């Protein structure tokens, strides 16, 4: 076997079924080995999209997604995807080619130091310097990518090592690993803290959304019956339990959900990862925070838990619930705030103005997407509205990125979600800015014959930055642009497009797009005047009222 064959056989051994990317000439031995393997090569139209797709595979399955690119320019296009997976804790393995390392027939043509480039963007970055190390190195790469805290790993396979015959070494078989559960003393201590709390509140953070945690976490919430809120990336971590849901901390302060946070005396923070924009600010006199996580908490200026329960979160929570069930008479002390918080959040959902408001758009999307449907957001102003207003009932049904918060990942992540869940409705929601950053992947979606709806929100602007510009008191400048005719654009890819023309048109347009199947684009204008009215003026007034004891 040559190096490429050893690599592909090691990937098969890891259960890899598909690889996303764009080969270059340095990968041709790998492409040939893939041709003769069980693994499907899925071409994308930009390497960045391939990396977003591979990362989302890791996010949704817990198993590393794999992407492939050539050296230099192709490899560099993986950097944003690597950062997305690193900050978002998504297991992924990126593989790139390189010129030969045993001789240099092309001098330095296209050669940049990719291993050094990827080192700060990954958990591990290695060049494969001989075929013999491939089986063990690939096993190590997958182990490192997958273990807590998950993330990306980079392997560089130079073309001569790919071509070089190597020893017939069998791949290293993976085995199940059960990470350690929190020790008894820590469980007892955490239980005591919770039992003593007068107004406890659970916060679900990004790591609460790990796919293998959904059942144990949902049971924990159902057993202890303490109300919960979530961070943006902790959204939808719990299946059911919606009568205990207090809201989402899409902003860091002043939102209605902060009424509960501010009144809590203990926050049981499950899986919070400080890569997220802070869900609230810790400070003197604030609630005690108990960190429950796979790994110890990181200490930040705004987050410094006073107690920790560290270990495999699912089994640890089960043991914690054993200690708590039926012993928390004050579990629901804050639940009384729930109706008020949620009714404020729901305001404007029925609004019939044209163009539609973000609140109305969120409501219409919720109507068209069944409970198990998956909504994948790009990055823009609407992300705050979806995080705040969209209700999830099933784990991992709202995928958003509040870590790197990169534009351009919405469509690729939805393509991956649709590949993995052919029977479920999948919707990408993108701004007219972010959509255009990877819209070429419409072709990939059409070629893969996916059922996928893409909703484009058109404000002819980088709306979120325009909003920040306005709220910071700057004049309106430099953030607007023209758009293509999105309906014609979709058609050019062999997809179907539809423009929403009336206030009541969005929900039926989405329903029709889902019902018809295939790749569909729906474009609607959006009225972003609510950004300032609600997220700035109303919440500021609300905070002043509260400080003066009015609310
Ligand atoms: C790759 C990247 N570039 C720039 C930004 C900064 N940024 C955040 S939101 C945003 C505007 C997004 O515009 P659009 O996609 O049209 O959504 P809108 O806010 O208008 O709804 C920009 C430029 C970013 N997060 N990622
Ligand atoms: Mg926009």
Q: Distance (Å, rounded) from C-alpha 130 to C-alpha 125?
A: 15
Nearest ligand, measured from the Cα of 379: 1
Residues 6+ apart with CB under 8 A from 510: 364, 365, 367, 368, 369, 427, 453, 455, 522
CB neighbours of 133 closer than 8 A, spacing ≥ 6? none
Peptide bond into 387 cis (omega under 30): no
Point out which residues pair with 523 in neighbouring strands: 456, 499
CA of 462 to the centre of ligand 2 (A): 5
Pocket test for ligand 1, best of 52, 464, 482 (most atoms within 8 A of CB): 464
Token pair in block for residue 42: 């899925």
Residue nearest to atom 8 of ligand 1 (CA): 380
Question: How far, in Å, is the centroid of ligand 1 from the Cα of 39?
Answer: 35
- Going by C-alpha positions, the residue among 46, 76, 61, 72 that lies closest to residue 15 is 61
Query: Ligand 1 test: best mutation among 49, 362, 409, 462, most atoms within 8 Å of CB?
Result: 462
Atom in ligand 1 nearest the alpha carbon of residue 80:
1
Contact 524, 357 (CB under 8 A): no
Looking from the CA of residue 457, the nearest atom of ligand 1 is: 21
Rounded alpha-carbon distances, angstroms, from residue 259 to 41, 314, 328, 547:
50, 29, 22, 11
Distances (CA, A) of 295 to 10, 88, 149, 323, 551: 29, 15, 7, 22, 39
Q: Which residues contact 299 (CB under 8 A, 6 or more apart)?
A: none
Whether residue 355 has a cis bond before it, omega within 30° of 0: yes
Ligand 1 mean position, distance from CA 436 (Å): 11
Question: How far is Cα 152 from Cα 268, in angstroms, rounded to an integer?
Answer: 29
Q: Would you say 375 and 389 are in contact if contact means Cβ atoms under 8 Å apart?
A: no
Q: What's the confidence (pLDDT) of residue 550?
A: 43
Between the CA of 357 and the centroid of ligand 1 the distance, in Å, is 18
Q: Using the 8-state DSSP alphabet, how is residue 165 labeled?
A: B
CA of residue 442 to ligand 2 center, whole Å: 19
pLDDT tens-digit map of 535-547:
888 888 877 666 5
Q: Which ligand is nearest to the CA of 381?
A: 1
Q: Which ligand is nearest to the CA of 404?
A: 1
In the block, which residue shows the tokens 């089986």?
A: 135
pTM tops 0.75, yes or no: yes
526 alpha carbon – ligand 2 mean position (Å): 9
Q: Which atom of ligand 1 is nearest to the CA of 432?
A: 16
What is the whole-number distance in angstroms between the Cα of residue 435 and the centre of ligand 1?
10
The stretches in the chain having pLDDT less than 70 are 240-241, 544-551
Q: How far apart are CA 56 and CA 414, in angstroms?
A: 9
Rounded Cα distance, 216 and 176, in Å: 18
d(CA 67, CA 23): 10
Which residues hold their Cβ within 5 A of ligand 2, which is an ion? 431-433, 459, 461, 463
Residues with CB under 6 A from ligand 1: 378-382, 405-408, 431-434, 457, 459, 461-465
Q: What is the pLDDT of residue 546?
A: 60
Atom of ligand 1 nearest to the CA of 464: 19
CA-to-CA dists, residue 22 to 78, 112, 217, angstroms: 11, 18, 39
């Amino acid at each position: 076997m040559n190096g490429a064959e050893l690599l592909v056989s090691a990937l098969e051994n890891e259960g890899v079924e598909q690889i996303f990317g764009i080969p270059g000439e340095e990968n041709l031995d790998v492409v040939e080995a893939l041709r003769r393997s069980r693994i499907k090569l899925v071409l994308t139209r930009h390497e960045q999209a391939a990396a977003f797709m591979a990362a989302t595979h890791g996010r949704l399955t817990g198993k590393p997604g794999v992407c492939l690119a050539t050296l230099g320019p192709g490899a560099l296009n993986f950097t944003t995807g690597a950062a997305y997976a690193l900050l978002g804790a998504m297991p992924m393995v990126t593989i790139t080619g390189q010129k030969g390392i045993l001789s240099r027939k092309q001098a330095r043509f296209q050669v940049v130091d990719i291993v050094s480039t990827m080192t700060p963007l990954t958990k591990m970055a290695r060049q494969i310097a001989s075929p013999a190390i491939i089986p063990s190195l690939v096993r190590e790469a997958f182990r490192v990518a997958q273990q807590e805290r998950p993330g990306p790993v980079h392997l560089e396979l130079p073309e001569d090592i790919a071509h070089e015959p190597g020893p017939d070494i069998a791949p290293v078989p993976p085995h199940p690993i059960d990470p350690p559960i929190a020790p008894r003393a820590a469980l007892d201590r955490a239980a005591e803290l919770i039992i003593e709390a007068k107004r406890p509140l659970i916060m679900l953070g990004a790591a609460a959304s790990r796919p293998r945690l959904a059942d144990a976490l949902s049971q924990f919430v159902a057993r202890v019956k303490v109300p919960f809120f979530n961070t943006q990336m902790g959204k939808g971590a719990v299946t059911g339990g919606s009568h205990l849901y207090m809201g989402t901390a899409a902003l860091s302060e002043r939102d209605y959900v902060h009424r509960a946070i501010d009144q809590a005396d203990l926050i049981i923070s499950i899986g919070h990862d400080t890569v997220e924009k802070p869900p609230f600010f810790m400070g003197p006199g604030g609630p005690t925070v108990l960190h429950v996580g796979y790994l110890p908490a990181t200490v930040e200026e705004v987050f410094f838990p006073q107690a920790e329960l560290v270990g495999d979160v699912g089994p640890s929570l089960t043991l914690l619930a054993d200690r708590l069930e039926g012993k928390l008479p004050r579990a629901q002390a804050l639940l009384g705030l729930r109706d008020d918080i949620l009714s404020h959040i729901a305001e404007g959902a029925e609004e019939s103005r044209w163009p539609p408001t973000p609140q109305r758009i969120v409501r219409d999307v919720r109507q068209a997407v069944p409970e198990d449907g998956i909504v994948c957001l790009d990055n823009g102003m609407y992300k705050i509205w979806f995080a705040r207003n969209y209700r999830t009932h099933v784990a991992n049904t709202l995928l958003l990125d509040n870590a790197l918060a990169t534009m351009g990942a919405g469509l690729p992540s939805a393509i991956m979600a649709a590949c993995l869940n052919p029977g479920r409705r999948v919707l990408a929601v993108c701004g007219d800015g972010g959509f255009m950053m990877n819209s070429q992947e419409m072709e990939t979606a059409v070629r893969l014959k996916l059922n996928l709806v893409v909703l484009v929100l058109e404000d002819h602007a980088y709306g979120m930055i325009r909003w920040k510009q306005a709220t910071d008191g700057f004049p309106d400048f430099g953030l607007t642009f023209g758009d293509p005719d999105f309906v014609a654009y979709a058609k050019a890819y062999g997809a179907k497009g539809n423009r929403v023309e009336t206030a009541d048109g969005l929900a039926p347009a989405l329903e029709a797009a889902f019902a018809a199947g295939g790749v569909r684009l729906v474009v609607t204008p959006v009225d972003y005047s609510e950004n300032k009215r609600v997220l700035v003026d109303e919440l500021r007034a609300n905070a002043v009222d509260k400080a003066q004891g009015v609310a």
